Chain A
Amino acid sequence: MSAKKRDKLEVIHDILQIIKQNGNQIKPTPLLRFSNLSSQSFALYEEELLEKKLMLVQMENKKKFYKITEKGHRYLDQYQMIRTFMQDFDL
């Protein structure tokens, strides 16, 4: 049986959750691996998350890291409510 396809809200939640579980700092390669996305999909989500200011990119010793922003933390905290709301109103 195939796993149920994740919707956009869920993928965003999963990406942010992975960053959080890694002490709010993760490199692109492990994030791509843990998020179970193709590199094309990941690139789209990366762009969206940065654009929506849910996460940010930080350079440390010439290495790229992703971090969750304050808005991203709020998204994680309110994820269940967001989900319920979007489902209840068919959004």
Chain B
Amino acid sequence: MFLNVPTDVEIVLQLIFALTVIVGSGIIYVRTREIYALTESQSLKLFRNSFLLFALAYTIKLPTNYFILSYVNVTSSIPFFILSVAFIYFSSLAIFYLLLSTSYTYWKEKKLPDPIASIHFTAFFVVLLTLFDSLALVFLVEFILFLIVTFVCLKSLKKNKGKLLFRAASNMYLVFFMLYLLSILLTRVTQSELVRNIVLLASTLLFMEIVRRVLKALKGPRK
């Protein structure tokens, strides 16, 4: 796998992001336990599982920073390779689950085939692609994924007519997904540490905003 080796600042930012995701996801998972017990909604189950997967993915990612910091020759290290592959699989799955949670009801109403298996297959496919060095191939697949996700979100936008950009959760997820794709691509294409750090910082802030909104919504309706 071709990767730009991150600097210490970038690793610190990655650690902050990983810890934000792990702690934030844990809070969301625990705090939505009661609402799930009461509704047993499938879309809420996907929503909660996506945060569980996020926490898992970034817990797996934490040791990779250790490998980089200890100046091990990372590209030839087998544990680093396995952890990286597991991270890409679980984080892709987490994002797909999160996006699917917003359209699951529509999916069921239209009696479309259960998309869970396809989602696992797609995440596995993403992992396979990262094993190749072909940048064009990775770009192509991620662009197709982006189109699919945009389509899903546009469907949701229709439902959320009149809501401001970030009032609709699916818009927020779409931006988060774009940042995720950017972060994968940037490690391969740009030498600019600043750009990569801005993307990391934006991802951290956006994730914090998702956690804040979950906690706010759990307090009940706005007066």
Residues of A within 8 A of B (CB): 9, 52, 54, 71, 74-75, 78, 80-86, 88-91
CA of A79 to CA of B150 in the docked complex: distance in angstroms? 31
Q: Is the CB of A81 within 8 A of B219?
A: yes
Q: Can you identify 18 A-B contacts, CB atoms within 8 angstroms?
A: A9-B39, A71-B38, A74-B38, A78-B35, A78-B38, A81-B219, A84-B220, A84-B222, A85-B218, A86-B39, A86-B41, A88-B213, A89-B101, A89-B169, A91-B44, A91-B47, A91-B104, A91-B105
- Counting chain B residues whose Cβ lies within 8 A of the other chain, the interface size class is 20 to 34
CA of A64 to CA of B218 in the docked complex: distance in angstroms? 36
CA of A88 to CA of B104 in the docked complex: distance in angstroms? 15
CA of A59 to CA of B91 in the docked complex: distance in angstroms? 51
Q: Say yes or no for B193: interface residue by CB 8 A criterion.
A: no
If over half of B's interface residues share one DSSP class (helix, strand or loop), that class is named, otherwise mixed; here it is helix
* Closest A residue by C-beta to B46: A91
13 further A-B pairs in the complex, CB-CB below 8 A; given A54-B38, A84-B217, A85-B32: A71-B37, A75-B38, A80-B220, A81-B217, A81-B219, A81-B221, A86-B41, A89-B47, A90-B101, A90-B159, A90-B168, A90-B170, A91-B105
CA of A74 to CA of B40 in the docked complex: distance in angstroms? 14
Q: Is the CB of B35 within 8 A of A82?
A: yes
User: Cβ of B37: which chain A residues have Cβ within 8 Å of it?
Assistant: 71
Q: Among the listed B43, B214, B221, which residue makes an inter-chain contact with A83, where contact means beta carbons less than 8 Å apart?
A: B221
Q: Is the CB of A90 within 8 A of B44?
A: no
User: Cβ of B38: which chain A residues have Cβ within 8 Å of it?
Assistant: 54, 71, 74-75, 78, 82
Q: Is the CB of B102 within 8 A of A91?
A: yes
Within 8 A of A (CB), among B89-116: 101-105
A52 to chain B, nearest CB (A): 5
CA of A81 to CA of B220 in the docked complex: distance in angstroms? 4
Within 8 A of A (CB), among B19-44: 32, 34-35, 37-41, 43-44
User: Cβ of A83: which chain B residues have Cβ within 8 Å of it?
Assistant: 221
Q: Is the CB of A89 within 8 A of B40?
A: no
CA of A90 to CA of B155 in the docked complex: distance in angstroms? 11
Q: Among the listed A52, A54, A81, A90, which residue makes an inter-chain contact with B35, where contact means beta carbons less than 8 Å apart?
A: A81
